[in-house]
Structure 1
């Protein structure tokens, strides 16, 4: 099977519709059908179950899709590697979640760019779990994640460890000054998804409920905060500079037991450690001495 056939399989898995897949690929629907049948015949497995309006992956299809993605990604990366111009000596793929790129990682990444101008960088925004998968699939060289991977083929270094603070804009006037389970409904709370550990803590001490705002995007959370539309917990790595500049201020809050902690990790494939060492050392040095603690 060739990569064009695999791309057809991947697109059909996404659209779940033969005619839509054919339209996007500028081929006939019969051509799409023939390509899928050729893969199924070669594997001797049924990859899709068909109904009147759509198709769904079978259990075999769900297994195969990971390999199809890897093959297509490897094909693309090999072409890019062979196409590196005389200006660049190699390529480096780096990924981080959106919530840490702008606030924490980008300034350190800039150090890497300045030190290695002969490198072509492929920069991605991905969730932590997708970054780990990308490293295991050889699609990502270096990643920044918020959960420590446990896979034996991934190396990990902790870069930061910080708490959370509850903040608001000075322009936002509140009826209550103290944030607690009893006063929570008095606050225009922004439920920002900071990951499973933080969500578990919030739901344990403040009880699950529907909030005025919910988002998974850091830039939207910050816009709501800075415009004085709500209050939110922020990791100290984000909040510290805003508090120091006076653009945000802390709100006291009541909690019992432990206070949530956010940790950030630098991750890379174990089998490429020697090749990546210069870049890893540059990034680790950029984080040395970094403190995100907010003064009481």
Structure 2
């Protein structure tokens, strides 16, 4: 069993097509067939059902699928560990949601890269996919809105900050406060998901408008729409801070019976790995540089 066979198996399981698999791996279909047959012989079981127009995993194939990804990930990690020796103190793969990289988490990553002693890679995905990646071992730690419930994970409230209503300063220079009615009357309110509590608040606060509002999942895009098209938007303080400081945006007091809830981001990782050198080193760095974050205590 070698890495080529495993990667061929994983690609075929994902594409369900010998043609697509051969295109992705840049080999002829007969090579794909040979690799799969060799793997099935070694494992002593049939991994795929083959039809004239379909390929699908067998029950044995599904069982092996849960292990193959971890094996490939560990092999790649071993290669990287050997390559990195003498070139950096350690390497770390950090997962995060698309919406949060522009928050204070960016400053943490910036400081980590600034040392010049750590090889850093970031991965962007949804919370559930990031948790799966942690289990597979393809990432070391992740920043998520919804922490895993499993006792196998450590969950740390990493970031808890206010969410501000902001608009372009030139447009709202004389405006100090906006009510719910005034915001709705404006007709240009962006929606960006800042966590479960915020999502529920936004829907409750703005009702039907929550369905029709322009939705974005990238802070940079939201900020450009706010500055270029005079949209209003609710932003975490750390995301808007520099734009407010530079006179581009203005923080506007939002007048309502219920204020937007704070944004809480969790740092999570597998407990079984916290003593590994690279993860332990990263966690020590986080603890040392968490002065901008509050309420950072282990939940589990």
Do they superpose with TM above 0.5? yes
The alpha-carbon distance between structure 1 residues 96 and 257, as it changes in their structure 2 partners (threshold 3 A), is same
Q: Report how far residue 13 of structure 1 moved.
A: 3.4
Cα deviation 1:189-231 (Å, max 9, x = unaligned): 2222333332222122222454352222222112212223422
How has the CA–CA distance of structure 1 residues 2 and 203 changed in structure 2, closer, same or farther, with 3 Å as cutoff?
A: same
Residues 158 and 266 in structure 2, CA contact (< 8 A), matched pair in contact too: yes
Judged with a 3 Å threshold, the aligned counterparts in structure 2 of structure 1 residues 51 and 257 are, in CA distance, closer, same or farther, namely: farther
Matched, 1:271 2:252: no
- On the 8 A contact 1:172/1:230 being kept in 2, the answer is no
Q: Is the 8 A contact 2:161 2:263 kept in 1?
A: yes
User: 2 CA distance for matches of 1:258 and 1:170?
Assistant: 22
Give the unaligned 5+ runs of structure 1.
292-296
CA distance 1:246–1:70, change in 2 (3 Å): same
In the alignment, structure 2 segments of 5+ residues that lack a partner are 295-300
Distance 1:232 1:37, change over 3 A: farther
Matched-pair contact (CA < 8 Å) for 1:181–1:205: no
Q: How many residues align?
A: 288
> Could you give the per-residue CA deviations for residues 227-283 of structure 1, whole angstroms, max 9, x where no partner exists?
234221112221233334332123444544563221122333323334444432322
Match of 1:150 in 2: 149
Is structure 2 residue 150 aligned with structure 1 residue 162?
no
Offset at 1:39?
A: 4.8
User: For residues 245 and 145 of structure 1, what CA distance do their matches in structure 2 show?
Assistant: 29
Q: Secondary structure at the match of 1:77?
A: helix
CA distance 1:88–1:206, change in 2 (3 Å): same
Partner SS for 1:83 = helix
Kindly indicate whether structure 1 or structure 2 has the higher relative contact order, using CA contacts under 8 Å at least 6 residues apart. 2
Equivalent runs, 1:207-246 vs 2, <5 Å? 207-208=207-208, 209-211=210-212, 213-246=214-247
| C-alpha distance 257-101 of structure 1, shift in aligned 2 (>3 A) | closer
SS in 2 for 1:279: helix
Distance 1:50 1:249, change over 3 A: farther
Partner residue, 1:294: none
Instruction: Decide which moves more: 21-30 or 75-84.
Output: 21-30
Change (3 A) 1:163 1:80: same
Task: Give the aligned partner of residue 288 of structure 2.
Answer: 285
Partner of 1:86: 86
TM-score, normalised by the number of residues in structure 1: 0.79
1:6 and 1:145 map into 2 onto residues whose CA distance is: 30
Instruction: Give the drift of 1:76.
Output: 1.1
SS at the partner of 2:100? helix
Q: How does 1:195-206 map to 2 (within 5 A)?
A: 195-206=195-206
What CA distance in whole angstroms lies between the structure 1 residues aligned with 2:101 and 2:182? 35
User: Distance between the aligned counterparts of 2:37 and 2:68, measured in 1?
Assistant: 15
